[in-house]
Amino acid sequence: MTTNTASKEVVKSLLKQFEEKAPEIVFEWHDAETGAEGWVVINSLRGGAAGGGTRMRKGLNKREVESLAKTMEVKFTVSGPPIGGAKSGINFDPADPRKEEVLRRWYKAVFPLLKNYYGTGGDLNVDEIHEVIPITESYGLWHPQEGIVNGHFQASKPVKIKKIGKLRQGVSKVIEDPRFTPSTEKKYTVADMITGYGVAEAVRHFYELWGGEVQGKRAIIQGWGNVGAAAALYLAEMGVHIVGIIDKDNGLLAPKGLSPERVKELFVQRKGNSLQAGDMIPFNEADARIWDIGAEIFIPAAASRLVHQEHLDRMIAGGLEVISCGANVPFADEEIFYGPVAQYGDKRLSVIPDFIANCGMARVFAYLMTYEDEVLTDEAIFSDTSQTIRQALEQIRAQQDIPTSISAKAFEIALQKLL
């Protein structure tokens, strides 16, 4: 076994080559009625298809969508299937009451791509179950992943029907196993929980592989949407003390840690992606204090590019050990991948990159499309995601036994498959 063999020059060369390669397809859309604009960026049609979710936020631009499409291509080297990366992005305020009609016009415009070679799902401010699936089905799409079934698997009609059936059943499956849901009274689906579950499992696997006990560690959670809240829930069940939560409007500080019951309560009480608690504090106060509270684990699970070097320095001073990236491209860098802030953290900490930590939903799609005869139990689906993340980390661990530069080695392994 070697120590840190991830050559910085090799990684930089591979990343430069990958980043500078122009996307294969860029679809641009302008909504005449609202002024909304949108893009589908397909980095490549590797394996005959491409996949990536649909996000909406005010201020989103084409470069963000391109960077996320490239991130998806790297993610598929971990999650499978071996296809190209893509992303859809709409520059529009998701709080606008016209959101649904904008989504309807958007999916009508991109329907030919979704039918033939592009598969999508939910992402930031766009819900897989309540928005993507019903709207695309209303236009005659069998499932938002149909383009991958057609383009990559090139399935015969009977096989296609079987694969689509599994996708419909698995993604929308209501979780019944109490180990994987915050409440058996409210209905939560696999799509609601799987990404955050993977982010938490990445932390558990990290400590098992590189040494240390996850129980008793402290964690800071940035973002209280499905990913951040679910990651907090599963970490709390492992015995991790959630000492701070911050979303875009508010925060909650608990230096002694929140009980698993309180974390479940906060999960269930969410309004959209917003924290709801009687003892929460305004964002500015939370932002001023949370980075110094002291924690070994950090889960960035809000929007992209929010984590600055100052945040890292303050958390490092408080004992930070590992970052499990719930958000895509969480560091505040201009570069698509692995810019100065990401490198700074990777040299000093154990940074589990987004394409490993948050691959849960992509892995579920791959699992449901690939294995036709598997029984669709909660345990089977969640265990498969956990094992996929562990295998990716084991591959890194086999090549280096020190717990820094994990992201650099992960990129090296992934990009050598793509270039």
Domain boundaries, the chain: 21-172, 190-417
Mapped onto helix, strand or coil, the DSSP state of residue 339 is coil
- With H, G, I as helix, E, B as strand and everything else as coil, classify residue 53: coil
CA-CA distances (angstroms) from residue 38 to 56, 118, 144, 233, 318?
9, 16, 17, 34, 41
Q: Tens digit of pLDDT for each residue in 374-396?
A: 778 999 999 999 999 999 999 99
Confidence of residue 7 (pLDDT cuts 50, 70, 90): low
Confidence of residue 273 (pLDDT cuts 50, 70, 90): confident
| pLDDT for 78 beyond 70 | yes
pLDDT band of residue 3 (cuts 50, 70, 90) is very low
Decide which of 3.40.50.720, 2.60.40.10, 3.20.20.140, 3.40.50.300 is the CATH code for 190-417.
Answer: 3.40.50.720
What value does the mean pLDDT take over residues 281-288? 98
CATH number 3.40.50.1000 given to 21-172: no
The predicted model gives 84-108 an average pLDDT of 98
Please give the average per-residue pLDDT across 392-407, as a whole number.
95
pLDDT recorded at residue 6: 47
Q: Enter the tokens of residue 379.
A: 């345990």
In 99-240, at which residue ranges do the beta strands (DSSP E only) sit?
118-119, 218-222
21-172 matches 190-417 in fold: yes
Region of poorest pLDDT, from 87-101, 215-229, 242-256, 331-345:
331-345
Question: Across 16-20, 36-40, 155-159, 335-339, which has the greatest mean pLDDT?
Answer: 36-40
Instruction: Write out pLDDT tens, residues 178-213.
Output: 999 998 889 999 999 999 999 999 999 999 999 999
Does position 356 have pLDDT exceeding 90, yes or no? yes
pLDDT for 2:
46
Q: What pLDDT digit, counting tens, does each position of 221-269 carry?
A: 999 999 999 999 999 999 999 999 999 999 999 999 999 999 999 999 9
pLDDT, residue 185, reads 86
Predicted confidence band of residue 1 (pLDDT cuts 50, 70, 90):
very low
Q: How many CA atoms lie within 13 A of 368 on its CB side?
A: 32
pTM for the structure as a whole = 0.91
pLDDT of residue 184: 82
Q: What is the mean pLDDT of the chain?
A: 94
> 391 Cβ partners below 8 Å, 6+ apart?
none
Q: Provide the token pair at 319.
A: 């004992």
The two structure tokens encoding residue 47:
């394996």
pLDDT score for 90 = 98
What is the C-alpha to C-alpha distance for residues 258 and 372, in angstroms, rounded to an integer? 41
